Amino acid sequence: MTNAHAIVCGRTGVGKSRGFFIPNLMERLGTNMIVTEATPGYEQGELYTLTSGWRKQAGHRIYSFNPADMSSTRINPVDRVRMAPQLEKAKEAEKLADLIIMNGSGEEQRVDPTWDRSEKQLLVSLILHAAATDPEMGHIGAIRWLLLSGINRVRETMAKSKSELAQMEFEGWLGSTSENFRFGVLSGLMTKLNPWITDQFVALTEKTDIDFEELRNQLFTFYIAVPSRSRDSKLIGSLLVNFLLDYLLDTKATMKYPTAMFLEEFTNFGKIANIANVLSIVRKAKISLVLGFQNYFQLERVYSQKEAQIIFDQPATQIYFRQKNFREARALREALGTTTIEEVTVNDTGRVHEFIQGRALATPDELINLSGEVIAFTNDTWPLKLRLSAPYAYEHAMAYPPPERPAHEITEHIRWRCRTTEQKEPPQQQQQQPTNNATENPTGGNTRNRRNKDRNDRSRDAGNRDIRNGDNKNRDNRNRDNRDAASRDHHNRNFNSSARETNEDRSQEGQSSHSQPLDNSPEVDDVWPS
């Protein structure tokens, strides 16, 4: 195998893994490998299960990422921005944001690109902020947590960001959007970050376990597997592939061992940004790139027609497994071309007849019924028909089990989404809390309770006095005028006393209201102008 690129084309079940990828992983032990594969469900990939043990025995450091495996090697994509030189941080943040927006949309595309552009501008500022903040909050999961808290909390946080560039980018986004439009942008961006809604994805991308300085001098193999039916996993897989590809391009001059990328089912890992330039740059960096996919139409589902044609045409080596339908077989027959057949016959009179005619190198029927063979195109030869390795050729090497690693734990910080103790309490407890505080506050709830008790006591005393006055009138009718005068004087005194007590209560109530602590926290608009 040279540094030239290659494509391996064949439908599921025709033997791409057993016939091509596994033999190369078993034989090329002096080369670093980055290997991708798609799995039917949330299980370990076939290439990892069958080849990682053998490569570990050969001295390779084994790394792997599988969203279903909590013992996976963790990688934080934001670390790419954090490790970049100061002048390169903005470019790296924009590249990461572009990958998330591009691969997070799925196959559906918005008619108006304004939404995606605004989401990208907001995400760039948030990534720059995450790269400058504490590592505990410097990951994509924490960015989504911040978005969940609402636009006001986002504005307050970004106003205090340690990155001046993040502040300026966010201020520019605020100035170019209306209030209603911002809510739509936040909602759309949160949807694109839905892979980080689960604790497991956050835990596997909150930090990076790889020592990149040691990686330069290591023999290593990195396996990345994603479930083919999970769009969320595809987004994370695409970020990891691009993360490692950028690292290889940055360190190509200092890598001790040659490196190859075997990207089986690579269309399941989303887009590789600017694929045409990447293919050219990777080859100049002496990194061999093998792209495995099912057919040309699968490329067009992920890439544009022009990009798919570049991917299809640029690799000098092309390997085709058994075709599964007549349309694909006919296209391959036309690519193979024709050969000249000469037939010489002699008739009864002794005359020699020569017949020269063209014939296809392989008919569609022959290509559909290939067994144990592949068709190969190279840059220096005519089309070749090559026999595959026997299925049992590497049974001894495939018997080595994959390496074991301890599983990562999901911390309380992740479980509670970085919320405080007060935010964790159930709503019922939070509603009961003011009542408890009121009983402890001498100028709060107790004052109101005493005031209500005094009013009840005064009403009861007034009723008793009315009863006594009625009895006195029945016993002594002779001094009626004097009693009436005394009753009026007594009523006036009670009225004045009640008025004084009411004024005192109002005074106490005013004092209690002034004694409550004032909330001097600034409004959001004071932190960052609308």
Give domain status of residue 336, yes or no.
no
pLDDT (0 to 100) of residue 69: 92
pLDDT, tens digit, for every residue of 375-431?
999 988 899 999 998 878 999 999 999 999 999 999 998 998 876 444 555 545 444
| Residue 314 banded pLDDT, cuts 50, 70, 90 | confident
The reply to whether 307 and 393 lie within a common domain is: yes
Q: What is the mean pLDDT of residues 350-376?
A: 86
pLDDT level of residue 509 (50, 70, 90 thresholds): very low
The secondary structure of 210-225 as a DSSP string is: --HHHHTT--EEEEEE
What is the C-alpha to C-alpha distance for residues 288 and 33, in angstroms, rounded to an integer?
10
Handedness of CA 185, 191, 195, 198 (dihedral sign): positive
Please write the tens of the pLDDT for every residue from 236-284.
988 999 999 999 988 887 889 999 999 998 888 888 877 878 888 888 8
Q: Do 271 and 312 share a domain, yes or no? A: yes
**What percentage of the chain reaches a pLDDT higher than 70?**
77
One domain, residues 17 and 155:
no
Does one domain contain both 224 and 139?
Answer: no
Confidence class of residue 342 from pLDDT cuts 50, 70 and 90?
confident
Q: Which of 19-33, 367-381, 438-452 tops mean pLDDT?
A: 19-33
Looking at residue 350, its amino acid is: G
Q: Please report, for the domain that includes residue 408, its CATH number.
A: 3.40.50.300
- In a shared domain, residues 89 and 69: no
Give the pLDDT confidence of 193-231 residue by residue, as tens digits. Answer: 999 999 999 999 999 999 998 999 999 999 999 988 787
Of 169-183, 197-211, 467-481, the one with minimum mean pLDDT is 467-481
Over range 76-85, report the average pLDDT. 95
Whether residue 329 is contained in a domain is answered as no
Sheet with 373-377, strands from edge to edge, namely 61-65, 220-227, 32-39, 259-263, 288-293, 6-9, 317-320, 373-377, 384-387
Residue range of the domain that includes 67? 6-75+209-322+371-412
Domain assignment of residue 68, yes or no: yes
User: Structurally, how many domains does the chain consist of?
Assistant: 3
| Same domain assignment for residues 68 and 91 | no
Do 243 and 80 contact (CB within 8 A), yes or no? yes
Question: Which of 200, 221, 237 finishes a domain?
Answer: 200
Sign of the torsion angle spanned by Cα atoms 250, 252, 256, 259: positive
Whether residue 384 sits in one domain with residue 259: yes
**Mean pLDDT, the chain, as a whole number?**
81
- Looking at per-residue pLDDT, the higher value among 277 and 192 belongs to 192
Whether 334 is covered by a domain: the verdict is no
Q: Which residues of 365-399 are buried (b: 16+ CB within 10 A; e: fewer)?
A: eebbebeeebbbbeeeeebeeeebbeeeebeebbe
Distances from the Cα of 513 to the Cα of 432, 433, 505, 506, angstroms: 21, 19, 12, 11
Residue 338 lies in a domain: no
Q: Which residue has the higher pLDDT, 205 or 484?
A: 205
Quick check: is 339 in a domain? Answer: no
Beta bridge partners, 32, equal 259
In a domain, residue 502? The reply is yes
* Residue that is last in its domain, among 166, 200, 234: 200
Query: Which residue in this structure is represented by tokens 């007590």?
Result: 501
Residue-level pLDDT at 86: 92
Q: What gap in Å lies between CA 312 and CA 309, rounded to an integer?
A: 5
**83 and 161 co-located in one domain:** yes
219 & 124 share domain: no
pLDDT at 187: 93
Q: Are 214 and 296 found together in one domain? A: yes
Structure confidence at residue 230 (pLDDT): 80
Judgement on whether residues 307 and 398 belong to the same structural domain of the protein: yes
Q: How far apart are CA 405 and CA 423, in angstroms?
A: 35
Query: Is 427 inside a domain boundary?
Result: no
Average pLDDT rounded to a whole number, residues 360-366: 88
Asked whether residue 262 falls in the same domain as residue 394, the answer is yes
Q: Measured between alpha carbons, how far is 493 from 484 in angstroms, rounded to an integer?
A: 14
Which of 200, 231, 247 is a domain's end point? 200
